[in-house]
Structure 1
Amino acid sequence: MTLARSLLPAIAAFAFATPAQAAPASIAGNWKTDDGKSVIQFYKCGSSMCGKISKFLVAEPKGGARDTENPDKAKRDRKLLGLPIFWSLKPGGERFKGQGYSPEDGRYFNAQVWRSGSILKVRGCVAVFCKTVNFTRA
């Protein structure tokens, strides 16, 4: 009887344990945006992943592209090349979840990034409005 009593907690723990979730596929590397205008580099930053504009595939204006749509007027003169636009992306299930910024319209959003075969899917949500785009390897 003592053996059964000592095994009971172990069996119960095993039976009610939540299954471990697989880590999402790596998003590290260079990815061409869906509009073909730029390359975003995803990289490890601390304990999470980040993404920055690493290259433009279209001609920049003289003096470089600037963050002219930023809601913070003090940031509107900063250059877009090298600008972090994804941060605090942490694994959550099969996706990385964190924050993002769109310099095209100056909006901050909740971001989800994940691999689907050779495609990188990027989903941005502001309130209940969401949009998903596909990036390809650069």
Structure 2
Amino acid sequence: MIAARYLLPASAALVFATPAFAAPEAITGNWKTDDGKAVIQFYKCGGDMCGKISRFLVPEPAGGARDDNNPDKAKRSRALKGLPIFWSLSENGSKYKGKGYSPEEGRYFNAQVWRAGNTLKVQGCVAVFCKTVTFTKV
């Protein structure tokens, strides 16, 4: 009888425990970049998440901002507004992992994105070099 008295609370704790590998918090919506120059909209695309430049918070050049630094010369004339810069972001533990593109640097990278309260942490890695920035909810 003593053992049963201690098993009941222990089994109840297991039912209400948070799983160690909980799904990541939702990242959908609009997020201001760390430099305050643009707003990135994260949205569902297929079974994954994607992110595109939804608007600029600084004046654009006449004719709109272009992908001038893209390593592929054929893509340098495309407009940045509406350009997907995150794709194939799939749930991986408490983060989303996928691919990203930095138009300012003309560089593709491996991306990790996760919520930290009311902020969004975005990490980009090229080879062994990584940089993490913080976006804020708009």
TM more than 0.5: yes
Quick one: which amino acid aligns to residue 89 of structure 1? L
Which residue number in structure 1 is paired with residue 126 of structure 2?
126
Quick one: which amino acid aligns to residue 116 of structure 2? S
Give the C-alpha shift of residue 21 in structure 1.
2.0
Give the C-alpha shift of residue 20 in structure 1.
6.5
5+ residue gaps in structure 2? 1-18
Give the C-alpha shift of residue 125 in structure 1.
0.1
Which residue number in structure 2 is paired with residue 8 of structure 1?
none
Q: Distance in 2 between matches of 1:86 and 1:37?
A: 17
5+ residue gaps in structure 1? 1-18
- Give per-residue Cα distances to partners, 1:81-100, cap 9 Å, x unaligned: 00000000000000000000
TM-score by length of 2: 0.86
Stretches of 4+ aligned residues off by more than 3 angstroms? none
Give the C-alpha shift of residue 68 in structure 1.
0.3
The alignment status of 1:80 with 2:92, answered yes or no, reads no
Which residue number in structure 1 is paired with residue 89 of structure 2?
89
Which residue number in structure 2 is paired with residue 51 of structure 1?
51
1:60 aligns to what SS in structure 2? coil
Q: Distance in 1 between matches of 2:31 and 2:98?
A: 18
% identity of equivalent residues: 75
1:67 aligns to what SS in structure 2? coil
2:74 aligns to what SS in structure 1? helix
Give the CA RMSD over aligned residues. 0.9
